[in-house]
Structure 1
């Protein structure tokens, strides 16, 4: 998307697209100030490139965004000795199967879909509870604590706190 579209801005279109699905969105625009980039990411863009750009770099970035979406769309994730099956909503740690509460499962699946990526509380709330969530962002902390308790059975998968930023899932396999 370009930010400068006729009729409506690319930012508005990006927000509307995010309300109706989870598709890769890359902003490609002449607006290159930090505030413009912030607004693009806040609207839901996965990446932001300013004009003029190197076409080869655009291809690299498109492939990176596509890889992230393909991994998130996988029905079964294998991370060390942890398996997360989105179809059956089961988490297997070593040989023990767990049926997690829905939000806890979705939170784990979101983090596991992008190992090593830091998610802010706001991003996790938007992905798991939805943009209309009116509760406290500390809800994430409670769910993370519960997930950490369940992940004690493995020494290969851990949810780390990144101070001042959020959480990320690390895999040592």
Structure 2
């Protein structure tokens, strides 16, 4: 079954270029030329949309506002597409829930690679429940709970936590985490792993201030618990 991508972009020439390229890769493409149109289309087609490519500088509602609205009701993967190349802007986009960020101009092969990385992590061969202390991740519902409360994670945060849980009690290097979650073709900064671990800790740590994700000096991270449980559904 074809994956559906919502492309929200105000440059018609770029839409005219990207849409056939994406369709050639066997994606179904929905398009919108401003933020308001993109948000309305997203609300109407949310169940059919697998990924959103969202330009930052668009009319009526800017991309960041559209992203915030999406995140209030969904963890649908979002790639921000923009000419803004400042570190502060990238941080703002990631903090608001973007799964990835690509700066114009770019090569179509780079965009396609990032799309593949995000979408291939969505498939799980079996439905598994992972539990560490009071943290539960259910791959069937793609729901994460801590202390019986649902934790809203972005696609990338979810994949990072899932990989840590799959390798419970193992020390994972930053390169291993980068390759597993972002893909071997990711050409961004390796410290993105540290950034996302910080995001995860902020969302899943409880008031006792004891993080279940431990830093291993000079290597990377580990998720440890002697009473770890996993079960097949």
Instruction: Give the one of 88, 91, 103 matched to 2:144.
Output: 91
Q: State the shift of 1:76 in Å.
A: 1.4
Q: State the shift of 1:152 in Å.
A: 1.9
Q: What RMSD over aligned residues (CA atoms) do the two structures have, in Å?
A: 2.2
1:24-173 mapped onto 2 (5 Å cutoff): 75-153=128-206, 158-171=212-225, 173=227
The corresponding residue for 2:55 is: none
The structure with the greater share of residues assigned to helix is 1
TM-score, length basis structure 2: 0.40
Change (3 A) 1:159 1:82: same
The corresponding residue for 1:26 is: none
Q: 4+ residue runs of structure 1 moved beyond 6 angstroms?
A: none
Aligned length: 102
What secondary structure sits across from 1:133 in the alignment?
Answer: coil
String of CA shifts for 1:101-157, please: whole Å, max 9, x gaps: 001000001111122101111100111111110111100001000111122227676
The corresponding residue for 1:11 is: none
What secondary structure sits across from 2:224 in the alignment?
Answer: strand
Runs of 5+ consecutive residues of structure 1 not aligned to the other structure = 1-71
Worse overlay, 114-123 or 145-154: 145-154
What secondary structure sits across from 1:123 in the alignment?
Answer: helix
TM-score, length basis structure 1: 0.54
CA contact (8 A) 1:80 1:157 kept: no
